[in-house]
Structure 1
Amino acid sequence: MTRHTESSESAESTDSSESSEPTESEASYDRRRLRQWAAGRARAEGVARRDLLRLVAAAGLASTVPVALSAPRAAAAGPGIVKPLPPEWFIIHGTNAEARFESFADTGYTTPAARFFVRNHTTTPRIDAASWKLNIWGDGLTGRAREFTLADLRRFKPVTRTAFVECAGNARSFFATQQGRAGSGTPWTTGAIGVAHWRGVRLSDVLQKAGLSRRAVDIMPRGLDDEYVTSDGTSYGRVRRPMPVSKALDDVILAYEMNGSPLPPDHGYPVRLLAPSWVGISSIKWLGDIEVSTEPLYSPWNTDFYRLFGDAYPAEGSAPLTRQTIKSAFELPWNADLSAHTRHRLTGRAWSAGGAITRVEVSADGGASWRAARLHDRGQEGSWTRWSFPWKPTRTGPAELLSRATDSAGRTQPATTVHNTQGYLFGAVIRHAVTVSG
């Protein structure tokens, strides 16, 4: 697994706790956990029987009742998101708020918390940090469950990571508008992403302090937001998603600051998980407990949700989603009006979960020809690179602008993305419509 680049604060010292357990690839991990599942050695809290059958055709597995949580929380405030959502910065999608990507043009490298997108399953909880505790429990510990207060976490050596958080469904709407087959879920354009400086403590340090066993396979962090209940009354419980111990010991942190300030309520106050380069659902907000297990763990968030289903995938779906994909986008309003015979400085951002951005190309003729854009940041895996491109249109009328990114792993954005029913991981070149006026 590729280690994420840390800031100078944490890069100066890498202690042995992060490498005390062997790591394995995400693919081999998933194969191993499926073997354990097939042998009857797995737990699936909150997963319907039909989904167990679909996954491995194995019935009769017992669910484990989770440790009860007594969360120190007040009632969530309506309308569900705490911070202001001015229309020039955000598009509202139910309980979610998408950032207008063009609004990033004047923000600098990182995304201010005030402009960071919000992905909520329910409403933002208001939590008292003074009484908040993180409960770490499970048979993957060598002893009893451990509790950590915020003050306890601050006694660990702090680290800072500069990383994006991106919803797995970011750019989902383009499955419909560009490829003619919609995916279910929030119709994000490109604004379900933000980059911040996250400060906290290595999850590996906390797990070792809690008594991590070498037999541990999975961890499952769970949030303190309300239970997720669908419109038909089905309750999936609190948001939770398993993660292999190999990832937890690699680059994951328990973050308590965002861009130099305490986490805002909408972004996980007082503590959230940050899983760099992985789909946003892995970075659980409002962290309440972490189960550590010697058996593979499953929840609706890696069985019903956050797998790839569709014609191109097995009936049981793909393996649970881990890494994000590669994307690029213009910091330009959709259907912007640009003057002909005028030199325009087009700007944008490109990012990849699998490598640093090494090249961005722009096409102003719908993809017939491409020219290199200028990169303004040194590429970094799991973050983004700003770019610019000069364009002086000569013909009036509708036009399409395209950007295409390449990363250090050799991946380049394709012309299309294979369809999946829930619209995850759209990484194809986006056709950005503009109008050139005389």
Structure 2
Amino acid sequence: MATAAGVLAAPVPAVPALTPGRAAAAEEGATPAPGPAPAPAAASSSVPGIVKPLPAEWFVPRGTNAETRWDAFRDADGDAVVGRHVPVERFFVRNHTSTPLIDPDTWRLRLFGSGLRGGPTAEHPVEFGLEELRELPSTRISALIECAGNGRSYYAGQQGQPVPGTPWTLGGVGSASWRGVRLAEVLRAAGLTGAAVDVLPVGLDPDYVVGGTNYGPVRRPLPIAKALDDVLLAYEMNGEPLTPDHGAPARLVVPGWVGIASIKWVGSLEVADRPLYSPWNTDFYRMFGPDYPPGGGEPLTTQVVKSAFELAAGARLAAGRRHRLHGRSWSGAAAVRRVEVSADGGRTWRRADLRDEPRADGWTRWGIDWRPERPGRYELRARATDRRGNTQPERAVFNREGYLFGAVVAHPVTVV
């Protein structure tokens, strides 16, 4: 067996009135350090380091990332073009640096650490190739992947609280069908012992360098209880092999948790009999701010409740006509139970019709009729409640990194 992942060389190319939102927070800066060869941007892409095309009608560039436009879920006639799962070509992309191109034939997953029988080391790990993973029992799941900063721009735009980082609106999320092998199966095959405490997956993307500090490759530990519960080591997405931007040859899918837990391009797993740490569970992806402990909150895990309209912000709708408003709601904690919609800035609410049987592993699609009689500017709002009683609040608790914005979002439209 080969002892390292094969990486293909590739150069990096260089009827209330609306209140205008404040400027979104600045993009987070990331200067890639030398590392596994990053992929070139596609000719039609406006984001260096992302492989797939990013047509403007589907995506909004966000620094090293690409946010899916919610109006891309419907065609010009208002008919749905995205079902329960987002097609790979329309799925958002979250990169700390850039997409590596990895040869699946020479890629190896390396496992080592004190939580495995015999204590294999990084120099002498237990290894699996892609074909060996495929020989293990396979599992298919449906799961959402959502960036912890999804909705971040609304801290500034709605609450007047500017924060740094990628200024996502609500398009840093996507649902897909994933196939692979349960992480528990891989760990047991590698010799998992009862002493294991944490599992640290490490990605093969280039090192993350910002502000003169090299944080190394993206990596974030999982507690062994979660690793053995529902985590998937996926090699397929929507019935096809993973593509480079979405983690090929293999990635983790951690249902219900913030997207950083679902490490892409995973190359190694350290299994330890003690807690493990990385910048992604100490410096990043924790809550800091006046409402949190001085040293920060616990590392982020589950996502909060959110709702989005399948409609462009600022869309123009005809007065005196019935319009069918569509949207989706989701929660990392439980299935959605109820969705309510307001067309008057939150003064009154009506129940939306749920189009799906709510499930904990994905979003729930909904619809509601609205007939605006008078021209003008309106704020549409949607709020969801999940089966654990979590409801979207009017205001999100501030944190300095802008994570987990779950408040009701004001969606502006103009009636003409």
Deviation at residue 71 of structure 1 after TM alignment: 3.1
Secondary structure of the residue that 2:179 maps to in structure 1? strand
1:6 alignment counterpart: none
Residue 117 (str. 1) matches residue 92 (str. 2):
yes
Mapping 1:305-344, distance limit 5 Å: 305-344=284-323
Deviation at residue 77 of structure 1 after TM alignment: 2.3
In 2, the alpha carbon distance for the partners of 1:176 and 1:123 equals: 27
Mapping 1:326-405, distance limit 5 Å: 326-405=305-384
Mapping 1:29-40, distance limit 5 Å: none
Of the candidates 68, 73, 83, which is equivalent to residue 104 of structure 1? 73
In 1, the alpha carbon distance for the partners of 2:316 and 2:400 equals: 34
In 1, the alpha carbon distance for the partners of 2:39 and 2:137 equals: 34
Deviation at residue 382 of structure 1 after TM alignment: 3.4
Deviation at residue 233 of structure 1 after TM alignment: 2.4
Deviation at residue 101 of structure 1 after TM alignment: 1.3
Secondary structure of the residue that 1:198 maps to in structure 2? strand
Amino acid of the structure 1 residue aligned with 2:95? N
In 2, the alpha carbon distance for the partners of 1:94 and 1:404 equals: 29
Residue 208 (str. 1) matches residue 177 (str. 2):
no
In 1, the alpha carbon distance for the partners of 2:219 and 2:134 equals: 24
Of the candidates 73, 76, 84, which is equivalent to residue 38 of structure 2? 76
TM score, norm. by length of structure 1 = 0.83
Deviation at residue 172 of structure 1 after TM alignment: 0.4
In 1, the alpha carbon distance for the partners of 2:254 and 2:308 equals: 23
Secondary structure of the residue that 2:213 maps to in structure 1? coil
Give ranges in structure 2 of 5+ residues lacking alignment: 9-36, 41-47, 75-80
In 1, the alpha carbon distance for the partners of 2:164 and 2:305 equals: 21
Deviation at residue 378 of structure 1 after TM alignment: 1.0
Deviation at residue 277 of structure 1 after TM alignment: 0.4
Alignment length, in residue pairs? 368
Give ranges in structure 1 of 5+ residues lacking alignment: 1-68
Amino acid of the structure 2 residue aligned with 1:434? V
2:143 alignment counterpart: 163
In 2, the alpha carbon distance for the partners of 1:341 and 1:245 equals: 57
1:193 alignment counterpart: 173
1:410 alignment counterpart: 389
Amino acid of the structure 2 residue aligned with 1:227? D
Secondary structure of the residue that 2:209 maps to in structure 1? coil
Secondary structure of the residue that 2:415 maps to in structure 1? strand
Residue 297 (str. 1) matches residue 288 (str. 2):
no
Deviation at residue 108 of structure 1 after TM alignment: 1.3
Deviation at residue 371 of structure 1 after TM alignment: 0.5
What CA deviation, in whole Å up to 9, does each residue of 1:180-201 have, x standing for no partner? 1022100000000000000000
In 1, the alpha carbon distance for the partners of 2:287 and 2:374 equals: 42
Q: Contact 1:127–1:270 (CA<8 Å) still a contact in 2?
A: yes
Deviation at residue 312 of structure 1 after TM alignment: 0.6
In 2, the alpha carbon distance for the partners of 1:395 and 1:269 equals: 51
Deviation at residue 107 of structure 1 after TM alignment: 1.1
Q: Contact 1:354–1:382 (CA<8 Å) still a contact in 2?
A: no
What CA deviation, in whole Å up to 9, does each residue of 1:123-169 have, x standing for no partner? 10000000000001101101233100001100111111101000000
What is the identity percentage for the equivalent residue pairs of Structure 1 and Structure 2?
Answer: 58
Q: Contact 2:4–2:107 (CA<8 Å) still a contact in 1?
A: no
Secondary structure of the residue that 1:134 maps to in structure 2? strand
1:130 alignment counterpart: 105
Of the candidates 101, 115, 118, which is equivalent to residue 140 of structure 1? 115
Q: Which stretches of structure 1, 4 residues or longer, exceed 2 Å deviation after superposition?
A: none
In 2, the alpha carbon distance for the partners of 1:192 and 1:332 equals: 16
In 1, the alpha carbon distance for the partners of 2:357 and 2:136 equals: 30
Secondary structure of the residue that 2:245 maps to in structure 1? helix
In 2, the alpha carbon distance for the partners of 1:411 and 1:315 equals: 26
Greater helix proportion? 1
Q: Contact 2:4–2:106 (CA<8 Å) still a contact in 1?
A: no
TM score, norm. by length of structure 2 = 0.87
Amino acid of the structure 1 residue aligned with 2:91? F
Secondary structure of the residue that 1:298 maps to in structure 2? coil
2:55 alignment counterpart: 86
